[in-house]
Amino acid sequence: MESRAPARFEDVVLPHLDAAYTLARYLVRNAQDAEDIVQDACLRALKYFAGFRGEGGTSARAWLLTIVRNTAHSWHKRHRPDALTTEFDETQHSDAVPHDHVDAKETIGRALERLAPEFREVIVLRELQGLSYKEISDVAGVPVGTVMSRLSRARARLQDALREEEVR
Amino acid sequence: MTHPNFEAQVDAYLDGELATGDARQLETHLAQCPECTRFRDQRVELRAVIVAGVPTFQAPAALRERIREAARGTSPATRAGRFNPRNLWRPLALAASLAVVALGSWTLALQRAAGEALADDVLASHIRSLMPGHLTDVPSSDQHTVKPWFNGRLDYSPPVYDFAGRGYPLLGGRLDYVGGRPVAALVYGRRQHMINVFLWPAGRDPAGPSTRTRQGYHELHWTAGDYTYWVVSDLGLAELRDFAQLLRQAELSTKS
């Protein structure tokens, strides 16, 4: 039993590594930190894998993403206590594109970065990773109704950001 | 707006998350309300912009490989202690991202199995020290209080420095047991982070310098002068290296 678990872990969890890494990238906005977080999260996942049975329809993807999210949050608490609550800081992104060269693609990317973390994560989970509301609710640890309203508010903010950019 | 929740309803509808009955109702309403239809179209447009403009990322191949390795390893306990050249990635990657940091004195080497066991020991002591009431036996920011405290408790008198002026205040000292011997542990603070410095007289074959990261803690190890040093903290690696540099400089200036 013990020896079979690692092989299954590879089959079940590794297919979602890109999703895990993408989520981490958007949560911490730094490639190196994201890599560390995903590694930590996967080692944790490996440790608890024996307990993962996909109960209640939890997909392996949502399960892994939950661990990544929690790892990112505790990592933030430890290393950057203020980072999860502060919004995008322009000064930390000195390579930000000069304003007149901005097109819609860059605008949406920057608008997403500026979103508060709880909005950013629902957008990433839904739009980039196609999770159901139920799965997002598991990952983010909030009721489905909250997922629904957060997603809607997040989209409204992104739309506002795009409109502002057009006006300029 | 027909009802306050309308926007969320349309979003849920477009996400395929609206119950069939509600979806029918909404469709009926959309068919006769240009304003709401416009709202829906904007959302569809937004989705296209997001998909086109927000990239997904591929996990680095090295990361994937490390995790595969870990999954193929045996039990987590033996895995942690095993020498694995792939562990080099971390110091190397960090080094790359911290190009400004003077790496000269930090050859990013990895200890062999014996050193690895010692590093595990040091880490365990560090973590234990962070549990309530375990941090210091002699809580003092005065090096002239901490140093003499070790008299009669150890067969050596560890050098103790205070770096409060550099942002690393001395918090105290502790007697600890590492690598099969009682050793001096000095505790320093950096904002909310704790740094443990373990030191004992260097053996005949000085090891290090080396860097290791486990469970979110960095461990720096080197031998300088008469002492072997282990520095452990969850502090960022760059700052921890700065701190280690202070220690080495203090050691050197006392010597000369």
Query: What ipTM does this complex have?
Result: 0.80
A77 contacts: CB under 8 Å, gap ≥ 6: A84
Tokens of A167: 């006006």
What is the spatial distance between Cα A42 and Cα A34, in angstroms, rounded to a whole number? 12
Query: pTM of the prediction?
Result: 0.52
Per the model's pLDDT, the better-predicted residue between A17 and A6 turns out to be A17
Per the model's pLDDT, the better-predicted residue between A10 and A21 turns out to be A21
For B163, which DSSP code?
A: B
C-beta atoms of B97 and A32 within 8 A:
yes
Q: What is the pLDDT of residue B20?
A: 84
C-beta atoms of A127 and B54 within 8 A:
yes
Per the model's pLDDT, the better-predicted residue between B78 and A144 turns out to be A144
CA B168 vs CA A157, B59, B163, B212, B229: distances in Å: 43, 36, 5, 21, 17
With vertex at residue B16, the alpha carbon angle to CA A15 and CA A119, rounded to the nearest 5 degrees, is 70
Sheet containing B193-201, strands listed edge to edge, beginning at the edge strand earlier in sequence: B138-139, B170-178, B181-190, B193-201, B227-233, B217-224, B210-214
Select from B63, B90, B101, B191 the residue whose CB has the most chain A CBs within 10 Å, as the one to mutate to test that interface.
B63
Out of B15, B46, B73, closest to residue A159 by CB: B46
What is the spatial distance between Cα B223 and Cα B118, in angstroms, rounded to a whole number? 14
Q: What is the pLDDT of residue A167?
A: 66
Select from A8, A23, A30, A39 the residue whose CB has the most chain B CBs within 10 Å, as the one to mutate to test that interface.
A39
* Chain A residues touching residue B214 (CB < 8 angstroms): none
Interface residues on B facing A, Cβ-Cβ cutoff 8 A: 7-8, 11-12, 15, 17, 42-43, 46-47, 49-60, 63-64, 66-68, 70-73, 75-76, 90, 93-94, 97, 192, 216, 234, 236
Per the model's pLDDT, the better-predicted residue between B141 and A80 turns out to be B141
Residue B154 phi, psi (nearest 5): -135, 160
Q: Is A140 on the interface with B (CB under 8 A)?
A: no
What is the spatial distance between Cα B234 and Cα A23, in angstroms, rounded to a whole number? 23
Select from A48, A61, A151, A163 the residue whose CB has the most chain B CBs within 10 Å, as the one to mutate to test that interface.
A151
Q: What is the pLDDT of residue A123?
A: 95
Q: Which residues of chain B are under the pLDDT cut of 50?
A: 1-3, 74-85, 95, 97-112
- The answer to whether the beta carbons of residues A123 and A112 sit under 8 Å apart is yes
- The answer to whether the beta carbons of residues A34 and B58 sit under 8 Å apart is no
Tokens of A31: 């490639």
What is the spatial distance between Cα B160 and Cα B178, in angstroms, rounded to a whole number? 19
Q: Is the peptide bond before B209 cis (omega within 30 degrees of 0)?
A: yes
For A50, which DSSP code?
A: G
Per the model's pLDDT, the better-predicted residue between A120 and B6 turns out to be A120
Q: Is the pLDDT of residue A134 over 50?
A: yes
